[in-house]
Amino acid sequence: MPPEASAPHPRLAVIGAGLAGCAFAAQLLRRGWPAPISLWEAGRGPGGRASTRHSRRDPQQRADHGAPLINVCTEPPPALLAPLLAGGWIEPWLEPCARLDASGALQPIGAEPLLQGSRYRGRGGMEQVCRGFLALAGAGCTLHSSQLVQRLEPLAGGGWRLLGRAGEHMADADWLVLSGTLLVHPRGQALLGAAPAPLAAVAASDPELAAALQTIAALGAEPHSNLIWLLEGTAAAPWLALPFRLLEFDAGAQRRWGLWRVSIQPGAQGRCAVVAHSSAALAADHLQTVGSGSAAARLPGVRPDPEREQALIAHLTAAVQAALATWLPDAHGQPPPGERQLMRWGAAFPRGEGLPVALSVCARSRLAFCGDYLAGPGFGRAEGAWRSAELLAERLVELLRAPGAAGVHSAAQGTQEHG
């Protein structure tokens, strides 16, 4: 979908409609960005690792299969928090939570970083957080779902061309924001089945981009394999009676059961979703096993294996039943009812130093970054993704206000001439 040649302002494309991409679009437009923003997402809708999965058989059955909540630990709160609350998109998360030790006993949550501070969840599912951001962005942002951007190419006059699976032209942009690292991290080569982008030549003339790419390449990632277990009626009742809604596993418990977290999510009319996140160690042993219905299964370099998928689903199911046998003795060892699915997050949490904020805007290349992989408050968590997005929006607004700075105002004209 080529842009109109008469566009008077810089055209901006955002890759990834997770928390960072959606929050960035909302904040940038609320701060006066004068041009439309296109948002490109490989999944079926917004959310990313904070999305909601709906049952194939029952639309009223849903599960937050990634982040069950967002916690804000630092002050001041994000600028978009109050508008989301006022719009009814999110609500405080007040459910009971606990920590399981290796003996199977419950302990206080302690210093678990993902449970500190003020906690919030999407009202009606975590996907509502990103839908709220997009509502705040308004008509200035267009979401393109189920659109995998497989390759980026620099345009002769500045800016970027987005290409799809078969090399088809998806869009041109004067500025590009990457809210994830897939297109620039080395592991993206294998997942996308090709070199993600010919960035070496661009980086050779842009020291900031060269430094940013080097830092991103050094980032590690912690994987998780997630079991989604949908229950209803009499099968759901004992799970809903558990004394916790969120159960964390300490290091010993993770080694014993191979689980990191179990989330109990009540649904409509007595339904219930159980979402179990594996330990990083167990997920590392099953990195090649993906859920056949997940967005990851559609990446060119991924080959789903239904037999291995079902084996891992059975393994995780048995681990959950064994870990919770104290409270659910009748479920342990019994054939599991309900619909079960698998999601694999090959890079659930970034590990390393993080990308410095100073490298989040590579003005010469008209390329910028936001996401939980940015260094700073909330690194590796949803809060970090959100805050990095708002901070990037402020930085680009300042560039916009400086006439001619970094080619912001000349970008549109250059791309029209050479794109």
Per-residue confidence band for 273, with pLDDT thresholds at 50, 70 and 90: very high
- This prediction has a pTM of 0.92
Region at 88 (left for phi over 0; alpha for psi -120 to 50; beta for the rest): left
* Residue 401 structure tokens: 């206000």
Phi, psi dihedrals of residue 307, rounded to the nearest 5°: -65, -45
Q: Does residue 262 contact residue 215 with C-beta atoms inside 8 Å?
A: no
Burial 376-389 (b: 16+ CB within 10 A, else e): bebbbbbbbbbbbb
Report residue 77 as tokens: 């709160």
CA dist 78 and 387 (Å) reads 6
Do 145 and 44 meet the contact criterion of CB atoms below 8 Å apart?
yes
| Strand-pair partners of 172 | 161
Average pLDDT score over residue span 306-318: 95
Cα–Cα distance for residue pair 65/127, rounded to 1 Å: 10
Asked if pLDDT for residue 405 goes beyond 70, the answer is no
What is the C-alpha to C-alpha distance for residues 340 and 231, in angstroms, rounded to an integer? 9
pLDDT of residue 407 exceeding 80, the answer is: no
pLDDT at 159: 94
Average pLDDT over residues 75-100: 97
Instruction: Place 256 in a pLDDT band, splitting at 50, 70 and 90.
Output: very high
Question: Which residue(s) pair with 222 in the sheet?
Answer: 349
Size (the chain), residues: 419
Tens digit of each residue's pLDDT (9 = 90 or more) over 2-24: 434 444 578 999 999 999 999 99
User: 151-154 and 141-144 as β-strands: parallel, antiparallel, unpaired?
Assistant: unpaired
Cross-strand pairs, 247? 98, 262
The answer to whether residue 92 scores a pLDDT higher than 90 is yes
List the single range of 3-12, 86-95, 240-249, 313-322 with lowest mean pLDDT: 3-12
CATH of 12-51+128-219+352-418, one of 3.50.50.60, 2.40.70.10, 1.10.3720.10, 3.40.50.300: 3.50.50.60
Calculate the average pLDDT of the chain.
89
Q: Quick one: what percent of the chain has pLDDT higher than 70?
A: 93
Q: How confident is the model at residue 402 (pLDDT cuts 50, 70, 90)?
A: low
Q: Would you say residue 112 has pLDDT above 90?
A: no
- What pLDDT score does 417 carry? 34
Q: What is the pLDDT of residues 211-232, one digit of tens each?
A: 999 999 999 999 999 999 999 9
Of 31-45, 47-61, 93-107, where does mean pLDDT reach its minimum? 47-61
pLDDT at position 404 is 56
The answer to whether residue 80 scores a pLDDT higher than 90 is yes
The pLDDT value recorded for residue 3 is 39
- The architecture CATH gives domain 94-112+222-349: Alpha-Beta Complex (3.90)
Q: What pLDDT does residue 295 have?
A: 72
CA–CA distance, 290 with 348 (Å, rounded to integer): 14
Every domain of the chain and the residues it spans = 12-51+128-219+352-418, 94-112+222-349
* Residue 195's pLDDT band (cuts 50, 70, 90): low
> In this structure, are residues 131 and 87 in contact, taking their beta carbons and an 8 Å threshold?
no
- pLDDT for the residue 316: 97
Q: Can you give the pLDDT at residue 321?
A: 95
pLDDT at position 416 over 90: no
